[in-house]
Amino acid sequence: MNESALREQICECGRVLYQRGLAPGSSGNISVRLDDGWLLTPTNACLGRLDPARLSRLDANGRLVSGDAPTKEAFLHRAMYEERGGAGAIVHLHSTHAAAVSCMAGLDACDCLPPLTAYYVMKIGRLPLVPYHRPGDPALAEAIRDIAKRHHALLLANHGPVVAGKDLDAAMYAAEELEETAKLFLLLRNVPTSPLNAAQIEELKAAFHLDI
């Protein structure tokens, strides 16, 4: 896909996520890796009203070469791309139910949500929790670097999810599946549940060649 089409795709993805209420206000950010840098959403931009021409274009060294000032988390996206050679796009949201889970006490920091459904296992697998850092804190890049080596999705404490994918559709679908599973998790809080067991997860990993 050429850069112009990628710009349009970022804006369309932003519109869909905003309209679904997964990126309220000016929250969230999206990026796509290019051969020689990245395209990112501008800081303080509403994902529902992006202008393709004003997206932030960074060169391979992370310098802004065109467009508006990039998301305050450009360094986080860059760290994830550096650790995940196969990642083509990253979506960060403040989707309500995933954000709610990120605020809960007593989570398993290695895996915040149970494997309630096959699609959660297929799209997300395991969801590590990253300790709280303020939005835009450069220390966040190093905090996620080691985790990103092993996980394409992570949950920022008291904040929201960051999800990478081979392309923007994959990242977006996985971020939406994460939000739906967080919703299920909260709905089922006081209900006995039977998450998928290890054998069922192994079967999915084999059937869909999952790297989780």
Residue in 171, 178, 173 with CA at minimum distance from that of residue 156: 178
Nearer to ligand 13P, 14 or 28 (CB): 28
* CB of 162 vs ligand 13P, minimal distance in Å: 9
Nearer to ligand 13P, 29 or 102 (CB): 29
The set of long-range contacts for 65-69, using a CB threshold of 8 Å and a minimum separation of 24, is 65/37, 67/42, 68/42, 68/43, 69/42, 69/43
Query: 129 near 197, Cβ under 8 Å?
Result: no
Taking CB positions, which residue lies at the least distance from ligand 13P?
71
CA separation, residue 163 to residues 111, 141, 173, 189, 195 (Å): 14, 14, 10, 24, 22
CB atoms within 10 A of CB 153: 27
Nearer to ligand 13P, 29 or 181 (CB): 29
Active site residue 119: yes
* CB of 170 vs ligand 13P, minimal distance in Å: 20
* CB of 89 vs ligand 13P, minimal distance in Å: 15
Nearer to ligand 13P, 25 or 86 (CB): 25
* CB of 30 vs ligand 13P, minimal distance in Å: 9
> Which of these is catalytic: 18, 119, 120, 132?
119
Q: Which residues bind ligand 13P (CB under 6 A)?
A: 26-29, 43-44, 71-73, 92, 94, 135
- Looking up tokens 């804006």, which residue turns up? 11
Return the active site residues: 119
